[in-house]
């Protein structure tokens, strides 16, 4: 047994004292480690990075993205003068101007001063008014710390105040929608009895104004072992109904429609994703589905009339069928058309399906397939512009442009974001490499056009590889300001690489399923293969190669630290899962069993242990000086993953004598890692500065 393995064998297997999120001993360790990291990083160079990033985030001329409700366009805005932000609205004519006139609805900074407590805006939902009437009421979601738990308060859009007799739901993981002016549909994890093992609501209740939530009528309930009971009231005129979802696990669910006392479950396999819009039912299977002698391939999209499907299972049309290079990413309905956003080798395409003329298909014009494109209906109930859509176009070095178009007409630019960093001389290229099992894996590279291929360029790799989330090009001014704007002492410009590894959704459900559970190692092999390809192509070498990832991407980084330490000079591992034996017992971890496996099942634990970084430190030890410089960070208020996994990993690495590991944990920010522009700038600067100083 090596000295390293012997040391690991004598360490305790758990650090349970660090799991007490607010226990004084744990917080004392957190403070000491965070202060140590800050003392090493916080200098004039760090302050400059914070300033550059915060300037970008606070910029007054960035695009204020809006949501149309009635005659108004709503926006939430933060800047240097409004740290907690403004919820506001304007008219279309005003929005088109260079300096829109905004009506402030809720000033969160003033509200915090009034309340004596800082509340962070987490979204709003407006009550549908009677036809021809203005919107008068809204529900405001307010987070106390940037986490997933929220307080929900009713807001009066006429008096711009919270009415004394208004709905006010306590802080919890809550989903809520209006049924009518005096009734809400609420799913809220307020007590142990109505909270699933995944920490979400197990019931949907019909809550009348002035009534007690716990005594409210239960209209839907799921097993406490399932993820959650989700639901919403569809207020579309002529289609009023409650839509229920029993989220069995992350990829299996049952959807139903509740009319009065009658509840009808949509009879499809549990891995078929279900969505409803007016009379339409959309069905997207995650595995091949044989329905009435017809095979509906995984990743395809089928359309049915809801009433007909409930009656006899009849499908109207198969609207989209993937091929090995193509996948469906999103959809949106206008009044008469369905817009599908598709990726082909991670390049965007928008398909238009005519719901009136025999489902005829066409495509929207796009300027450059290397740019990311997203489309969404503006307002399918707008009598004058029922088929208008928003289109956002963005790329790594191309600032975001917002367009508005009409499916049957043209499109025009509404607003364009200015350049936030000097991208002159950079080029965006796409590359492919082969993973360990021969699979072809793509990645994007942002680098100087005249970059020397001598292995000396500082590179930042970014990856995720889970939950069918696709990594696509996008203008990231904070990354530009924090990473691409730098240069080494020799004048070299840094490189950014986005990895499209398995576990994501870039090539549809099969690409995702290829790295589920016992096959998780494929995502890590893909990421390692890209790192090796960058070295083989002469772009970089280990001493100059950094990597970053958060959440599931943090688990990816943990596996790079423990499984592929020889490839990287530095790693930033954020809000991560790292202990795959304990993850289901912490925060919302139980909801991810379908993605990773269940450590309480012996056969599952066998493969889970092979990608559990906390255990790999002992199971597959490397010499201490082989590990890359590692920054492990989280927030105390992260109530999705929880901070304890990051704490345990860092503490164990330190106890094993691995010297170049640092830990950072601010209190607020939740799983996002930040609550305002200043904390976002500091969070990003901490990561960028740590990595840059190791690999420049």
Query: Which residues have a catalytic role annotated?
Result: 551, 671
Q: Are 88 and 73 in contact (CB under 8 A)?
A: no
**Helix H or strand E encompassing 380:** none
Q: Are 511 and 327 in contact (CB under 8 A)?
A: yes
Q: For residues 355 and 361, what is the distance between their CA atoms, to the nearest angstrom?
A: 10
Q: For residues 540 and 570, what is the distance between their CA atoms, to the nearest angstrom?
A: 13
Q: How far is CA 499 from CA 137, 485, 525, 527, 560, in A?
A: 44, 21, 12, 7, 14
- For 438, counting Cβ atoms within 10 Å of its Cβ (0-12 exposed, 13-18 middle, 19+ buried), the class is exposed
Phi, psi of 418 (to 5 degrees): -70, 165
- DSSP assignments along 25-56, one per residue: HHHHHHHHHHHHHHHHH-SHHHHHHHHHHHHH
SS3 of 137-184: EEEEEEECCCCCCEEEEEEECCCCECCCCCCEEEEECEEEEEEECCEE
Tell me 262's DSSP state. Answer: E
Q: How far is CA 693 from CA 509, 545, 598, 631, in A?
A: 39, 12, 39, 12
- Of 620, 625, 608, 628, give the one whose Cα is nearest residue 560: 628
- For 583, counting Cβ atoms within 10 Å of its Cβ (0-12 exposed, 13-18 middle, 19+ buried), the class is buried
How far separated are the first and last CA of the chain, in Å rounded? Answer: 36
348 φψ region: left (φ > 0), alpha (ψ -120 to 50), beta (else): beta
- Of 539, 517, 521, give the one whose Cα is nearest residue 530: 539
Contacts from 21-30 at CB under 8 Å and sequence distance 24+?
21/636, 21/642, 21/643, 21/644, 22/636, 26/647, 27/636, 29/647, 29/651, 30/636, 30/643, 30/647, 30/663, 30/665
> Side by side, which strands form the sheet with 326-333?
326-333, 337-344, 347-354, 361-363
Task: Return the residue matching tokens 């993981």.
Answer: 173
Q: Are 119 and 143 in contact (CB under 8 A)?
A: yes
402 φψ region: left (φ > 0), alpha (ψ -120 to 50), beta (else): beta
Q: How far is CA 128 from CA 156, 187, 276, 651, in A?
A: 13, 20, 18, 52
Q: For residues 669 and 639, what is the distance between their CA atoms, to the nearest angstrom?
A: 10
Q: Are 106 and 122 in contact (CB under 8 A)?
A: no
Count of residues making up the chain = 696
Q: For residues 406 and 335, what is the distance between their CA atoms, to the nearest angstrom?
A: 11
Tell me 213's DSSP state. Answer: G
């Amino acid at each position: 047994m090596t000295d390293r393995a012997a040391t690991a064998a004598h360490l305790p297997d758990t650090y349970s004292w660090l799991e007490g999120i607010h226990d004084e001993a744990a917080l004392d360790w957190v403070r000491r480690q965070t202060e140590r990291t800050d003392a090493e990083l916080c200098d004039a160079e760090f302050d400059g990075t914070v300033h550059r990033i915060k300037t970008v985030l606070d910029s007054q001329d960035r695009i204020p993205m809006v949501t149309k409700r009635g005659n108004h366009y709503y926006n939430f805005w933060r800047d240097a003068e409004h740290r907690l932000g403004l919820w506001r609205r304007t008219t279309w004519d005003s929005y088109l101007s260079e300096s829109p006139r905004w009506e402030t609805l809720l000033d969160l900074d003033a509200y915090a001063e009034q309340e004596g407590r800082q509340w962070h805006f987490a979204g709003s939902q407006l009550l549908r008014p009677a036809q021809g009437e203005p919107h008068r009421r809204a529900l405001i979601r307010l987070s106390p710390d940037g986490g997933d738990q929220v307080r929900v308060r009713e807001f009066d859009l006429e008096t711009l105040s919270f009415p004394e007799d208004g709905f006010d739901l306590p802080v919890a993981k809550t989903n809520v929608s209006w049924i009518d002016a005096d009734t809400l549909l609420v799913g809220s994890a307020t007590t142990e009895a109505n909270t699933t093992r995944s920490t979400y609501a197990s019931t949907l209740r019909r809550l009348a104004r002035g009534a007690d939530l716990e005594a409210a009528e239960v209209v839907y309930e799921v097993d406490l072992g399932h993820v959650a009971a989700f639901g919403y009231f569809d207020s579309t005129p002529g289609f009023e109904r409650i839509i229920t979802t029993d989220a069995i696990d992350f990829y299996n669910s049952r959807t139903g429609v509740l009319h009065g006392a009658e509840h009808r479950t949509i009879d499809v396999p549990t891995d078929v994703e279900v969505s409803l819009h007016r009379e339409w039912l959309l069905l997207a299977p995650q595995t091949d589905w044989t329905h009435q002698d017809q095979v509906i391939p995984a990743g395809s999209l089928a359309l049915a009339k809801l009433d007909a499907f409930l009656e006899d299972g009849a499908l109207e049309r198969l609207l989209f069928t993937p091929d090995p290079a193509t996948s469906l990413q999103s959809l949106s309905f206008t009044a008469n058309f369905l817009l599908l956003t598709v990726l082909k080798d991670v390049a965007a395409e928008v398909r238009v399906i005519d719901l009136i003329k025999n489902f005829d298909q066409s495509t929207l014009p796009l300027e450059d397939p290397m740019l990311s494109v997203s489309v969404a209906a503006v307002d399918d109930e707008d009598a004058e512009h029922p088929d208008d859509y928003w289109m956002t176009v963005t790329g790594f070095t191309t600032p975001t442009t917002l367009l508005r178009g009409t499916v049957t007409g043209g499109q025009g630019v509404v607003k364009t974001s200015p350049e936030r960093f000097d991208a002159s001389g950079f080029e965006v290229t796409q590359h492919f490499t082969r993973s360990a099992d021969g699979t072809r894996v793509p990645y994007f590279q942002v680098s100087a056009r005249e970059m020397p291929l001598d292995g000396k360029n500082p590179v930042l790799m970014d990856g995720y590889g889970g939950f069918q989330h696709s990594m696509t090009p996008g203008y990231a001014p904070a990354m530009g300001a924090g990473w691409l704007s730098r240069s080494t002492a020799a004048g070299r410009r840094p490189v950014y690489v986005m990895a499209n590894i398995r576990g994501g959704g870039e090539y549809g459900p099969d690409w995702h399923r290829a790295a589920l559970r016992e096959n998780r190692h494929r995502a890590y092999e893909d990421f390692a293969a890209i790192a090796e390809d960058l070295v083989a192509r002469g772009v970089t070498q280990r001493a100059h190669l950094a990597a970053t990832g958060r959440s599931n991407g943090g688990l990816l980084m943990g596996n790079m630290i423990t499984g592929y330490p020889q490839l990287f000079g530095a790693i930033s591992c954020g809000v991560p899962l790292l202990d795959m034996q304990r993850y289901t017992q912490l925060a919302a971890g139980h909801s991810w069993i379908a993605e990773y496996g269940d450590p309480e099942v012996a056969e599952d634990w066998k493969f889970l242990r092979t990608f559990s970084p906390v255990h790999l430190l002992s199971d597959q030890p490397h010499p201490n000086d082989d590990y890359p410089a590692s920054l492990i960070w989280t927030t105390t208020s992260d109530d999705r993953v929880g901070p304890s996994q990051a704490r345990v990993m860092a503490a164990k690495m330190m106890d094993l004598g691995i010297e170049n590991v640092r830990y950072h944990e601010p209190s607020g920010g939740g799983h996002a890692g930040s609550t305002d522009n200043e904390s976002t700038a500091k969070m990003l600067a901490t990561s960028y500065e740590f990595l840059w100083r190791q690999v420049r």
